[in-house]
């Protein structure tokens, strides 16, 4: 949640700077961003259909570990961060 909040706040700050400089922001309109979200969600329909056609169960745990990270960009909850190798 923290990265999302930081991203939002930095976007607001950038918007303020653009407004103070009286120039138009190059950011896409909200409708374009919703289209991108739809694309991310749509990408997950193929793995979902393949899983269903193969007879594998569609569980909340599978959705949470396979689909949600690809949509939100967050690392899967069931993995631990890689530890650097000690020399």
Give 37's pLDDT tier (boundaries 50, 70, 90).
confident
DSSP code for 67? I
Cβ–Cβ under 8 Å, residues 39 and 28: no
Instruction: Report how far Cα 50 is from the mean position of its chain's Cα atoms.
Output: 22
Q: What is the mean pLDDT of residues 54-67?
A: 82
Residue where the block lists tokens 């190059």: 26
Max mean pLDDT range (1-5, 30-34, 67-71, 80-84) = 30-34
Task: With CA atoms as reference, report the closest residue to 65 among 47, 38, 82.
Answer: 47
Q: What residues have CB less than 8 Å from 37, skipping those under 6 apart?
A: 71
């Amino acid at each position: 949640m923290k990265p999302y909040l930081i991203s939002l706040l930095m976007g607001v700050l950038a918007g303020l700077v653009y407004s103070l400089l009286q120039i138009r922001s190059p950011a896409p309109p909200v409708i374009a961003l919703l289209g991108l979200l739809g694309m991310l969600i749509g990408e997950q329909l193929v793995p979902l259909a393949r899983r269903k056609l193969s007879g594998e169960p569609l569980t909340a745990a599978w959705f949470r570990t396979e689909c949600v990270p690809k949509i939100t960009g967050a690392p899967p909850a069931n993995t631990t961060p890689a530890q650097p190798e000690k020399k």
